[in-house]
Structure 1
């Protein structure tokens, strides 16, 4: 059984890690204005953090094996918060891009460490924990966005905001990570696995099921870049639209609200918070929802909700309609990717890590491609059309929903 302290600690790590991102979201329009960026150049800057994150994923296994999970969280979570002061201090597009790459590197290390620790706690308990962890992640983005929006509305500059708030988050994150259980260096061999098999939501793979002698071992040497087998190609395509919709709300919702709907900072923060709150609520109830209705039904409804939500948001004539579209999109994107990872990890054929790594590569590529594509499309056709273009891609999730069903094998981390 987990101690109450360990549960609060891991929930706190997820919460404070995401609150950094939440602070950033309502300030993106201010950064765009301060540096005189177009939608296209802003898209390029947005691309830099995922690139840094991808590099962080690629080296995280070796680093964390040396530091241990707890120390990795204690080091990289505060580093993630403090490095994010960099974008606020940037005086040019080049400086902004460099700051975003460094921030992405830190969050890649943090994501790997905290998800691996959560998976370890989940395995020890023999019951699900990940949905709640990622529910706290969504609550953290909501909290951060509300704080950031309030400070922006009050007239504080991005520099003033980040120089005060980011060190506070760093201290809180360090305290939460310090409360995690102590493990020796190299004590958790799952680190090498999860560093290649985890992005933020994928850790909900069914690592909590009992292990028996027929379980399939995960290969620690699996590359992060792994082409999918024919058996999972359609499964890998299924969540792409969902991932792009979530990324679009993170990167572009604030710009859309200000530039298209003339919303103020506080309204922007509240609208994004509605997206995060609904997403958090669905995630916290995700295991129960899936148990009651089944994976395929949940994915179908989620695909339709995401498609309708982003279309409503893109076409919204006023702020209340945008608010509704954001909430509907939040419900749609909440638990599709975790279910896809569970299906990939349990799909017969290749070992679980190979399947999950292939799914990661394709899904994370959607994150990499979406920001600049939306920026370039916005310059050519307008931001409404650029965001609306995500609706048919999100509908692909509905069409391929049957891919989450199928034969499964059990997973063991050795």
Structure 2
């Protein structure tokens, strides 16, 4: 199997696991009788597991090989999809989400690190398109989940079946992954890789983009309902439009990077996202608000894949660089929805999104940090045809 196609399927499978679980959270809440606060704590356990697991992922990839690590962790992540629905009591649910988050974060690190290495070999940008495949996988699995929930399918049956299907797809894709050779003379990554100084500015770009992405994804429907008076259908459509814009921009992002470079893409995206934020803050009609969220989605879409690529090229190994910046972006994704809610509660939703607009403006200011490091003399060009273009 073509190596690029194989890693694209891996990203789609990873997204499909996330999209599948998201649609069945109401069933899990009802099944265990969880209050909103208890469900919120359960969901918090997933990023806690990610924070613990991610810094160890690059060391695992170094020990067993990146290809093997991707295959192993993707299988564990797919299997973990069934755990929350199978939890018999609340305590077990918390443990299930910790394991789910740990495998999610570790798989995220190794598959992005592997993708950075493949991108180097191919000599062209592929990261944005891979993250676009993640979005498509999440949207497709979310659609299946909506149908399952609408027809009253037990979540244990739905998520168990989805886990088996995705395990099979992941195993098939894993057979086609590039058997990445160890870099000659490369030092072993640290056992627990916290963000190094070399990627802090890159991490800030990722923090800003992820902050806007997470806040918009979680609050767009609420915003257009409470501020613009949208009904349930329009509110749901706003979220869908936002995600479709994210997916479309990521799928097209590699072409833009090849033509204009990562600095221009991030800077242009920052301008679009700031403009979108201004439209959201100023608008009081559903259509204009939705247009503003669409601009935010288009603007921040390429940030995470480009940040991962930039960090992977600056770390001791691609996996270690990705692990460091992933810690920062996951932190942003964790706190952004909560901060948005706190600011909105203390002031108003438009004020909260004015703050988000200021945060996303950092993307424009710090875009220069995305400039690729000076290329070292390598033998990569000679092996381009071996990996496939």
Please indicate, yes or no, whether the TM-score normalized by the shorter chain is above 0.5. Answer: yes
Q: In the superposition, relative to structure 1, how do residues 339 and 131 fare at CA in structure 2: closer, same or farther (>3 Å)?
A: closer
Alignment of 1:65-214 (within 5 A): 65-90=62-87, 94-181=91-178, 183=179, 188-189=181-182
Q: Which residue of 2 aligns with 1:224?
A: 193
Q: Which residue of 1 aligns with 2:250?
A: 283
Q: Which residue of 2 aligns with 1:194?
A: none
Task: Please state how far the C-alpha of 1:303 moved relative to its aligned partner.
Answer: 1.6
Structure 1 residue ranges without an equivalent (≥5)? 191-210, 212-216
Q: In the superposition, relative to structure 1, how do residues 380 and 139 fare at CA in structure 2: closer, same or farther (>3 Å)?
A: same
Task: Please state how far the C-alpha of 1:333 moved relative to its aligned partner.
Answer: 1.2
CA distance in 2, matches of 1:258, 1:28: 22
CA distance in 2, matches of 1:146, 1:274: 14
The alignment's TM-score, normalised by the length of structure 2, stands at 0.76
CA distance in 2, matches of 1:251, 1:357: 25
Task: Please state how far the C-alpha of 1:18 moved relative to its aligned partner.
Answer: 0.8
Q: Deviations over 1:315-343 (max 9, x none)?
A: 87676556434432221111224444556
Task: Please state how far the C-alpha of 1:58 moved relative to its aligned partner.
Answer: 2.2
Q: Secondary structure at 2:373's aligned position in 1?
A: coil
Of stretches 377-386 and 331-340 in structure 1, the one that deviates more from structure 2 is 377-386
Q: In the superposition, relative to structure 1, how do residues 312 and 87 fare at CA in structure 2: closer, same or farther (>3 Å)?
A: farther
1:333 aligns with 2:304: no
Higher helix share: 2
Q: Deviations over 1:161-218 (max 9, x none)?
A: 323323222222222223335x4xxx7436xxxxxxxxxxxxxxxxxxxx9xxxxx87
Q: Which residue of 1 aligns with 2:387?
A: none
Check whether the contact 2:312–2:322 (CA below 8 A) recurs between aligned residues. yes
Check whether the contact 2:132–2:250 (CA below 8 A) recurs between aligned residues. yes
Q: Which residue of 2 aligns with 1:400?
A: 366
Q: Secondary structure at 2:177's aligned position in 1?
A: coil
Q: Which residue of 1 aligns with 2:375?
A: 410
Q: Which residue of 2 aligns with 1:298?
A: 265
Task: Please state how far the C-alpha of 1:15 moved relative to its aligned partner.
Answer: 0.8
Check whether the contact 1:48–1:104 (CA below 8 A) recurs between aligned residues. yes
Task: Please state how far the C-alpha of 1:344 moved relative to its aligned partner.
Answer: 5.8
Q: In the superposition, relative to structure 1, how do residues 146 and 287 fare at CA in structure 2: closer, same or farther (>3 Å)?
A: same
Of stretches 314-323 and 286-295 in structure 1, the one that deviates more from structure 2 is 314-323
Q: In the superposition, relative to structure 1, how do residues 263 and 128 fare at CA in structure 2: closer, same or farther (>3 Å)?
A: same
Q: In the superposition, relative to structure 1, how do residues 307 and 67 fare at CA in structure 2: closer, same or farther (>3 Å)?
A: same
CA distance in 1, matches of 2:7, 2:354: 37
Q: Which residue of 2 aligns with 1:63?
A: 60
Q: Which residue of 2 aligns with 1:391?
A: 357
CA distance in 1, matches of 2:214, 2:68: 29
Alignment of 1:332-411 (within 5 A): 332-340=299-307, 359-374=325-340, 389-405=355-371, 408-410=373-375
Alignment of 1:239-318 (within 5 A): 239-249=206-216, 263=232, 268=236, 271-309=238-276
Check whether the contact 2:70–2:110 (CA below 8 A) recurs between aligned residues. yes
RMSD after superposition: 4.1
Q: In the superposition, relative to structure 1, how do residues 375 and 20 fare at CA in structure 2: closer, same or farther (>3 Å)?
A: farther
Check whether the contact 1:29–1:254 (CA below 8 A) recurs between aligned residues. no
Check whether the contact 1:29–1:258 (CA below 8 A) recurs between aligned residues. no
CA distance in 2, matches of 1:295, 1:253: 27
Task: Please state how far the C-alpha of 1:63 moved relative to its aligned partner.
Answer: 3.1
Q: In the superposition, relative to structure 1, how do residues 151 and 318 fare at CA in structure 2: closer, same or farther (>3 Å)?
A: farther
Q: In the superposition, relative to structure 1, how do residues 163 and 345 fare at CA in structure 2: closer, same or farther (>3 Å)?
A: closer
CA distance in 2, matches of 1:255, 1:373: 15
Task: Please state how far the C-alpha of 1:90 moved relative to its aligned partner.
Answer: 4.6
Task: Please state how far the C-alpha of 1:358 moved relative to its aligned partner.
Answer: 5.7
Of stretches 134-143 and 113-122 in structure 1, the one that deviates more from structure 2 is 113-122
The alignment's TM-score, normalised by the length of structure 1, stands at 0.72
Q: Deviations over 1:232-252 (max 9, x none)?
A: 755543332211122335555
Task: Please state how far the C-alpha of 1:57 moved relative to its aligned partner.
Answer: 1.8
